Amino acid sequence: MYYAPPGFDPSGPPPDRRRRPRAPFRQTRRPDERIALLGEPVDLVRPEEVLLHLERSVDAGVQSIVANHNLHSLYLIRRTPGMRRLYEAADLIELDSTPLIHFARLLGYPARPQHRCTYLDWRDHFWSLADRRAWRVLYIGGADGVAEEAARRLTARYPRATVKGLSGYFDATPGSLGNTAVLAAIRDFAPHVLFVGMGMPRQELWIADNLASLPAVPILPVGAAFDYEAGVQKAAPRWMGRLGVEWLFRLFADPKRLFTRYCIEPWFLIGPALADMRAARRRKR
């Protein structure tokens, strides 16, 4: 995984990842990589393995959903009718939470810090790959103009990739004029990879509702990914993510919106957590 060195200029040319030494990683899936946390399945995979999955899906021309779970999604999936459909259809479910990594280790699973996966963990690797393979990448989400600005910036840095952004402010009701227009734009652009960033649970519900009309490409719900790329949101330093305190950075940046997510919702997951601990004790016996 690439981490920008001190003084790195994000507006300059992208780093040549191929010149950097890389740690070896698995090229095949293993039976025990899918585990259950708080009653829901997740996959213990590294960012490099996620990118390998995307590359193989693009080469094979198959539809593949790469979802992700964190404490917020594990709370919402119990309270949002229809959200579970996305996870049931997912080929890969990233574990986007360092606290959940620690909890998985407590339960006896072979979880490691490198199994934390989210867009910000593999963004540089992804765009380097998209540039090298000349992929067409479409992002749907964000306020008017945000996705377009992110696409402009990314295209400047990765000129061999074709990047397009569409506003997430449209009527997402199946059959509506707005939704029909978005599906038509997707067909016209014919992406190799489709990012959907409308926030949880709207992005998961939209993908599930429209899955039959979406192309045979990797499809990933990625939240505010292009808000970061456009510069309208500041991402927490990656060391905070690795230490499991990224939520503090985000909470202080937007306390009104995120207080409930980070300070109240986790308490509703105590029951499933205790159930996991009882199951772990039974396994040890």
Residue 237 has pLDDT above 80, yes or no: no
User: Minimal CA–CA distance to 19: which of 6, 36, 2?
Assistant: 2
Q: What is the pLDDT of residue 265?
A: 93
Residue 209 has pLDDT above 70, yes or no: yes
| Beta pairing, strands 40-43 & 34-37 | antiparallel
In a domain, 1, yes or no: no
Label residue 231 left, alpha or beta by phi (over 0 means left) and psi (-120 to 50 means alpha): left
Chain-wide mean pLDDT for the chain?
A: 89
Q: What is the pLDDT of residue 252?
A: 81
In a domain, 14, yes or no: no
Q: What is the pLDDT of residue 256?
A: 84
Q: What is the pLDDT of residue 199?
A: 94
Per the structure, how many domains does the chain have? 1
In a domain, 24, yes or no: no
In a domain, 4, yes or no: no
What percent of the chain stands above pLDDT 90? 75
Rounded to two decimals, the pTM is 0.87
In a domain, 283, yes or no: no
In the predicted model, what is the mean pLDDT of residues 135-163? 96
- Rounded CA-CA distance 281/274 in Å is 11
In a domain, 29, yes or no: no
Q: What is the pLDDT of residue 11?
A: 52
What percent of the chain stands above pLDDT 70? 88
Model confidence band, residue 248 (pLDDT cutoffs 50, 70, 90):
confident
Contact between residue 222 and residue 207 where contact means Cβ atoms under 8 Å apart:
no
Placement of tokens 């397009």 in the chain: 164
In the predicted model, what is the mean pLDDT of residues 223-232? 93
Placement of tokens 């899918």 in the chain: 34
In a domain, 243, yes or no: yes
In a domain, 245, yes or no: yes
Per-residue pLDDT reduced to its tens digit, 194-204: 999 999 999 99
Per-residue pLDDT reduced to its tens digit, 5-43: 445 455 555 555 556 565 555 667 777 799 999 999 999
Enclosing domain of residue 184? 34-268
Compute how many other C-beta atoms are within 10 angstroms of the C-beta atom of residue 132.
13
Q: Which amino acid is at 232?
A: V
Per-residue pLDDT reduced to its tens digit, 134-144: 999 999 999 99
Q: What is the pLDDT of residue 18?
A: 54
Least confident of 65-79, 94-108, 230-244: 230-244
- Rounded CA-CA distance 267/264 in Å is 6
Q: Which two tokens stand for residue 15?
A: 């780093």
Q: Which amino acid is at 259?
A: F
